[in-house]
Amino acid sequence: MGNKLITFNEIQRMYCKGIREISLTGGKILTPGAKDFALERGMTLSYEEKMTKKPQSDMLRREIKESIEAILKNEYEILQQDKIDEITTRVMKHLPNKLLY
């Protein structure tokens, strides 16, 4: 199935019909103007890909945390779990969300 381009006019018609949630699955793509219109009016955009990527992002988060813990223990000899947890949490907060979600 090919991509379906959803334009500003189509989103505007959907909004006028009371549609507030748009599922962007099956290759549907919003134009930038359509996306801006939808978000400005509080419409919900759901993407199929987010559901399929979630297990991968959970695995990535776990691997990053394990790597931080190993570095703290092996290279810096920090062995107190509460200190390791505190540092790991602080580092994770500084990572870009697009990397983790």
pLDDT digits (tens, 9 = 90+) for 23-77: 888 888 899 999 999 999 999 988 765 444 566 777 888 899 999 999 999 999 9
Q: What is the pLDDT of residue 17?
A: 93
- Write the pLDDT tens digit of every residue in 52-67: 456 677 788 889 999 9
Q: How confident is the model at residue 99 (pLDDT cuts 50, 70, 90)?
A: low
Q: Determine the Cα–Cα distance for residues 30 and 87; give it in Å rounded to an integer.
A: 40
Measure CA 24 to chain center. Answer: 15
Q: What is the pLDDT of residue 23?
A: 87
CB 45 within 8 A of CB 30: yes
Torsion on CA atoms 65, 71, 76, 78, rounded to nearest 10: 40
Instruction: Let me know if 30 is exposed, middle or buried by CB neighbors in 10 A (0-12, 13-18, 19+).
Output: buried
Q: What is the pLDDT of residue 11?
A: 94
